[in-house]
Amino acid sequence: MAREIGTIAIFCGSNAGGHEAYAQGATALGHALATCGIGIVYGGTHKGLMGHVADAALAAGGRVHGVITERLHGRGHAHAALSELEIMPTLRARKERMAALADAFIALPGGIGTLEEFLEVWTMNQLSEIDKPAGLLDTRGFFEAFLGFIDHMVAERFLPPAHRHSIVVDADPQTLIDGLQRFERVDVPKWL
């Protein structure tokens, strides 16, 4: 049975990265989400991959809800054409609000903030604090090294093998969305 996913939180770079494929992947994801009728909640800026996702979804008639920090809003980083924009006092408050609004999560290529946001929701799922599937849009194999490190955690017995597969990974936006909708929770205890 497919999950009802009305809104997906997007974590991604506020930079565009060093290859045009990253912007193309972000644009394709934004378009695919809008086409599927799935709203986006994200960090609210017009910069980098974040801007590409938002612009593509808006151009395709999608709903895009930005949640930005006061500091970034004050610097003029807010996207001007969003369906909705909320301003939060801190990054912590922004992340909590995004998680509350989302039915699922997708991380695109990005920096340490992107990785931290994704790992937090993956951990919350692992600890059964939430039941909201998470996935990686693996443009240009960006996450291969990261997944190799996760495999190292499994090999060194810090992570149960089932939890390695408790996220959806794909380079194709539609396949990734489909995987999140079909996702079944991993109920293996985290302790080995």
71-114 pLDDT per residue, tens: 999 999 999 999 999 999 999 999 999 999 999 999 999 999 99
**Residue 147 within any structural domain of the chain:** yes
* pLDDT band, residue 70 (cuts 50/70/90): very high
Mean pLDDT across 134-138: 98
**Residue 63 within any structural domain of the chain:** yes
**Residue 118 within any structural domain of the chain:** yes
C-alpha span between 113 and 182 (Å, rounded): 27
* pLDDT band, residue 133 (cuts 50/70/90): very high
Specify the pLDDT at position 191. 80
- pLDDT tens per residue, range 137-159: 999 999 999 999 999 999 999 99
Mean pLDDT across 27-50: 98
Specify the pLDDT at position 129. 95
C-alpha span between 110 and 21 (Å, rounded): 13
Residues 6+ apart with CB under 8 A from 108: 10, 11, 12, 13, 22, 25, 26, 29, 49, 53, 114, 136, 137, 139
The phi-psi region of residue 7 (left if phi > 0; otherwise alpha if psi is between -120 and 50; otherwise beta) is beta
Specify the pLDDT at position 79. 98
Mean pLDDT across 160-176: 96
Specify the pLDDT at position 157. 96
**Residue 189 within any structural domain of the chain:** no
How many structural domains are present in the chain?
Answer: 1
Q: Are 145 and 24 in contact (CB under 8 A)?
A: no
Structural domain harbouring 118: 7-182
At 55, which amino acid appears?
Answer: D
Residue 1 has pLDDT above 90, yes or no: no
**Residue 191 within any structural domain of the chain:** no
Specify the pLDDT at position 188. 80
Mean pLDDT across 126-147: 97
φ, ψ for residue 61 (rounded to 5)?
A: 85, 15
C-alpha span between 48 and 31 (Å, rounded): 16
**Residue 188 within any structural domain of the chain:** no
Q: Compute the mean pLDDT over every residue in the chain, rounded to the nearest whole number.
A: 96
Specify the pLDDT at position 190. 77
CATH number of the domain encompassing residue 85: 3.40.50.450
**Residue 192 within any structural domain of the chain:** no
Specify the pLDDT at position 192. 78
pLDDT over 90 for what percent of the chain?
95
**Residue 24 within any structural domain of the chain:** yes
